[in-house]
Amino acid sequence: MTIEIPKGQRNKYQIDHESGRIYLDRYLYTSMVYPTDYGFIDDTLGEDGDPLDAMVLLPEPVYPGVLVKSRPVGMFRMTDEAGGDDKVLCVPAGDVRWDHIKDIDDVPGSNWMRSNTSFRSTRRWSRASS
């Protein structure tokens, strides 16, 4: 997946898929920060016409534009004003510290809560079935 927004940021960056350039879309004027590194899964297409949104649980944030080899463990089925806006929850691929995570139920409670509560103020979500 490609990272657009590092964990802990209030800046919302986006990658222009035509030029490949990263731009500042807006600043979040709330106390919310991105709880995980956030971006998209390359070569996919979501209901909104953009690549599927994804979050990856990393111990430290990485820079926008960085490609992180990751594997999905679950999905947040979400909607916004435009319709379906699902988020895929991932862990780093090939990192033995995450090998035991096979499903969203395996994600430690603190990471699970931080990952989903940050979107409650702006999105409606429901858990995807296995």
Number of Cβ atoms within 10 Å of the Cβ of 128: 15
| Alpha-carbon span 42 to 125, nearest angstrom | 23
Going by C-alpha positions, the residue among 104, 51, 105, 45 that lies closest to residue 74 is 104
Catalytic residues: 85
Q: Three-class SS of residue 76?
A: strand
Cβ neighbours of residue 12 closer than 8 Å, sequence gap 6 or more: 5, 24, 25, 26, 27, 28
